Amino acid sequence: AGALAASAGRISRALAAERRFSADASHQLRTPLTALSMRLEEITATTAEPATAAEAEVALAQVERLTAVVEDLLHRTRGAGLAGEGAGGDGPRPSHPLREVLVQQAREWEPVFARAGRRLDVALPAGAGDAGGLRVVAAPGPVSQALATLLENALAHGGGTTRVRVRRERASSSGHQHGWEEWVVVEVADEGPGVPEALGARIFERSVSGAASTGLGLALARDLVVAEGGRLELVRARPAVFGIFLRRAGAPSPR
């Protein structure tokens, strides 16, 4: 019993330290992100060069997305601390239209791929504008950041055309009251050599990286998606296909 209590104490202290680090990092990022946003807004408003204004607008959208992720991280950290003190857990998650994320990412990344001599093809399925068809139970900021990571990864390590496709999937689940779950899956595929077999099983580990990579991008992207109740998986290794699995809004909830 004493050993179990000591182990529980160590785990509790480790979790508390992790929450403090997340909160401190979020606070430290707020000020430079705000300053950068203001500078980009100034450039957009004062430049006489249309190309410069367009690039500044894209950069501003990226900074605003990162700011939203930081704010969400800080909110979750505070919520976890309160829950640990007995204040209760999270309430129902709101749903958001996935279409906005896809359109935003296409607008940001298509010019980047074009400058590299590559093509980005983001396709929305028929009926993508339906209120329920592409609404997911996930915040747009983390989903955008995760998708941006996959696109950056495809640009850096893949080849040929990179395609983004969306599909719906119903999967059996013993832990669900209806015996199945409904997901919206965003797949990112390219025509490059793919993920080496030795790397595939460890691709989301923080210590694993490709050439000139920190090894943090995919790991952090997965953490963002998992925090939204979803999954990030390597669907196929060669050619590489990554999938972001998000719960479909309006589908029956798990037990």
pTM for this one? 0.71
- What kind of fold does domain 2-84 have according to CATH? Helix Hairpins (1.10.287)
Query: CB of 133 within 8 A of CB of 182?
Result: no
Fold of the CATH domain 96-247 = Heat Shock Protein 90 (3.30.565)
Give start-end residues of each CATH 1.10.287.130 domain in the chain.
2-84
Q: How far apart are CA 244 and CA 186, in angstroms?
A: 5
The pLDDT of residue 214: 40
Residue 3 has pLDDT above 90, yes or no: no
Q: Are 234 and 199 in contact (CB under 8 A)?
A: no
What tokens were used for 206? 């923080």
Q: Tell me the CA distances in angstroms from 120 to 90, 131, 236, one per residue in order.
A: 37, 26, 19
Q: Is the dihedral of CA 153, 246, 180, 79 positive or negative?
A: positive
Mean pLDDT of 104-127: 88
pLDDT at residue 125, rounded to an integer: 62
Amino acid 177 reads: Q
The pairing of beta strand 180-189 with beta strand 135-136: unpaired
**Contact 108/83 with Cβ under 8 angstroms?**
no
Segments of the chain assigned to CATH 3.30.565.10:
96-247
Mean predicted confidence (pLDDT) in 117-133:
71
How confident is the model over 96-105, as pLDDT tens digits?
A: 999 889 998 9
Q: How far is CA 39 from the centre of its chain?
A: 26
Q: 67 burial class (0-12, 13-18, 19+ CB within 10 angstroms)?
A: middle
- Extract the tokens encoding 248: 């479909």
Q: Which residue has the higher pLDDT, 33 or 92?
A: 33
Question: What digits encode the pLDDT tens for the residues 12-34?
Answer: 666 565 556 556 566 567 778 88
Categorise residue 166: left if φ over 0, alpha if ψ from -120 to 50, beta otherwise: beta
4 Cβ contact list (under 8 Å, min separation 6): none
* Distance, CA of 31 to CA of 34 (rounded, Å): 5
Q: Which two tokens stand for residue 32?
A: 């430079």
Count of CA atoms in the C-beta half-sphere (13 A) of 225: 29
Residues 6 or more apart from 63 whose CB is under 8 A from it? 33, 36, 37, 40
Q: What is the pLDDT of residue 215?
A: 42
- Which tens digits make up the pLDDT trace of 186-231? 999 999 999 988 887 788 887 655 544 444 589 888 988 998 999 9
